[in-house]
Homo-oligomer: A and B are copies of this chain.
Amino acid sequence: MTNQHFSTKDRILSAAEDLFAKSGFAGASLRQVTSVANVNLAAVNYHFGSKENLINELFKRRLDELTAQRTKALEHALQTPPVTLESVLEAFVSPALSLAQDRGGGQSFVRLLARAFAEQDQRLRRFVSDNYGHVLKEFAKSISSLLPHLAKEDLYWRLDFVSGALTYAMSDFGMIKKPSDLSEEQHRRNAARQFVRFAAAGLRAP
Q: Is the CB of A202 within 8 A of B198?
A: yes
Secondary structure dominating the interface of A: helix
Q: What residues on B are CB-neighbors of A82 within 8 Å?
A: none
Complex interface residues of chain A between 155 and 178 (CB less than 8 A to chain B): 156-158, 160-169, 171-172, 175, 177
Chain B nearest Cβ from A18, distance in angstroms: 11
A181 beta carbon closer than 8 Å to chain B: no
Given contacts A161-B194, A162-B165, 4 further A-B pairs with CB under 8 A are A26-B27, A118-B118, A157-B198, A198-B203
B-contact bits for A163-206, CB 8 A (1 contact / 0 none): 11111110110010100000000000001001101111111111
* A84 → chain B closest CB, angstroms: 13
Report the minimal beta-carbon distance from A166 to chain B, rounded to whole angstroms. 7
Interface check A111, CB cutoff 8 A: yes
State whether B165 touches A168 (Cβ < 8 A).
yes
A170 shortest CB reach to chain B, Å: 9
A181 to chain B, nearest CB (A): 12
26 A-B residue pairs with CB within 8 Å:
A21-B120, A24-B24, A24-B25, A24-B27, A26-B26, A111-B120, A114-B118, A115-B118, A117-B168, A157-B169, A157-B194, A157-B198, A160-B172, A160-B177, A161-B165, A161-B195, A164-B165, A164-B168, A164-B169, A167-B168, A168-B168, A198-B202, A198-B203, A200-B205, A201-B202, A202-B202
- List chain A positions with a Cβ less than 8 A from chain B: 21-27, 111, 114-115, 117-120, 154, 156-158, 160-169, 171-172, 175, 177, 191, 194-195, 197-206
Which residue on B lies nearest to A163, using beta carbons? B168
A164 to chain B, nearest CB (A): 3
CA of A26 to CA of B29, assembled, Å = 11
Look across to chain B and name the residue whose beta carbon is closest to the beta carbon of A156: B177
Q: A21-B120, A120-B21, A165-B161 are in contact. Are A197 and B201 (CB under 8 A)?
A: no
